[in-house]
Amino acid sequence: MDQQNRPARARAPAKRITLPRARKPAEIREIFERFRAANPEPKGELESVNAFTLLVAVVLSAQATDAGVNKATRPLFAIADTPEKMLALGEDKVRDYIKTIGLYRNKAKNVVALCEKLIAEFGGELPTTREALESLPGVGRKTANVVLNIAFGEITHAVDTHVFRVSNRLRLAPGKNVLQVELGLEKAIPEEFGRHAHHWLILHGRYTCKALRPECGRCIQNDLCDSPDKRVV
């Protein structure tokens, strides 16, 4: 039988992902009350001097550590803390400042391009809507959410890898992708915790509920957690 006339092999059915059941509102409240008691005023770890430099720092943080970004941006922000000053530096000099950060060439290009757009279309000021922020080069939904939350005080939930992991493990907002988790958190988290929620979740995922070796023995949510990733100690 020649190759053209061979019967096609049946495709294996796609593996179905079953999401865990979301927690009850009272349980979610208890989780965030514990986060608040342990750390009443959580802060993001990216350093900035104003809303513009916050935006730049978040753009630079993609696939990079906050510590690495801070090391590069301290001298950069000391001389370029506005779109006009950053644009005056030019792409080559911006690239020199951030060359220790991953993907620095493309990031330098985006930083200069977003400065051009901020000056041309927004008078050098940061826009205050997600749609407008996302129109800037290098700015996606997560970056826009961080800026809206930290710079403008809005309740937004920026879902990075840590927030995604913790939200699924603690069954706060089970989801197959970051948008599902973000929208689930919007519905699940009581408003009084909304301002700081994503900071608590990021810090918990970064330092306690780690991807490979979660430190369950010192977790303040240990007795509430029923994740299959939980490490019994």
For residue 1, what are its two tokens?
């039988």
Quickly tell me which residue has 């050098």 as its tokens. Answer: 124
Structure tokens at 87: 């644009």
Q: Which long-range contacts (CB under 8 A, 24 or more apart) does 74-78 make?
A: 74/47, 77/47, 77/48, 77/49, 77/53
Residue 120: half-sphere exposure toward Cβ, Cα within 13 Å: 9
Q: At what angle do helices 197-207 and 25-38 cross, to 10 degrees?
A: 70
Please name the residues in contact with 152: beta carbons below 8 A apart, sequence gap of 6 or more. Answer: 51, 128
Residue closest to 215 by CA, chosen among 226, 204, 223, 224: 204
Q: Which among 2, 142, 223, 230 is annotated as catalytic?
A: 142
Active-site annotation holder among 160, 176, 210, 226:
160
What token pair was written down for 129? Answer: 């809507």
The DSSP annotation for 131-177 comes to HHHHTSTT--HHHHHHHHHHTT--------HHHHHHHHHTTSS--SS
Cα gap 55→173, rounded to integer Å: 27
CA-CA distance, 57 to 52, in Å (whole number)? 9
Length of the chain: 233
| 160 catalytic residue (yes or no) | yes
Determine whether 43 is an active site residue.
no
Active-site residues, by number, are 142, 160
